Amino acid sequence: MAFGLPLLREWFCLFAFFAIAAGIVAIVLLVQQSRPTGTPPPPVSAFPVLPIGPGIYVIRGVIRATKMDTTWKVQADSEANARIKADLEGIIVASVAYEGPNA
């Protein structure tokens, strides 16, 4: 078996092989660099939720003592304040809705 210098066809095959391998490595590196690293940012709400201020709140719930459904209107500074007032009145709160500013 004799070894000699590669002919033009063999040089072309070697060049094509290394060019394809280098191209694959370059694509893999570009894909890895384009991926974000670290933790993703927290999700953003579709619309801003603004706290509602003082006004009339409508409480829907159940009176604890009688187990009867009730709807109660109360003047409060916030939704949380309306929930606390309903709890103090013995109402288990199911929902709170803002009706509007004080009349």
Would you write out the chain's pLDDT as a tens digit for each of its 103 residues? 556 666 788 888 889 999 999 999 999 888 887 776 777 777 777 776 666 889 999 999 999 999 999 999 999 999 999 999 999 999 999 999 998 887 6
In the chain, where are the structural domains located?
A: 55-100
CA 82 to chain centre: 29
Q: What is the pLDDT of residue 12?
A: 86
Q: Which CATH class is domain 55-100?
A: alpha beta
Which residue in 55, 48, 50, 49 sits closest to 81, CA to CA?
55
Do the Cβ atoms of 59 and 74 come closer than 8 Å? yes
- Would residue 67 be called left, alpha or beta, if left means φ above 0 and alpha means ψ between -120 and 50 degrees? left
Please indicate, yes or no, whether the overall pTM of this predicted structure exceeds 0.95: no
Q: What are phi and psi of 85, to 5 degrees?
A: -65, -40
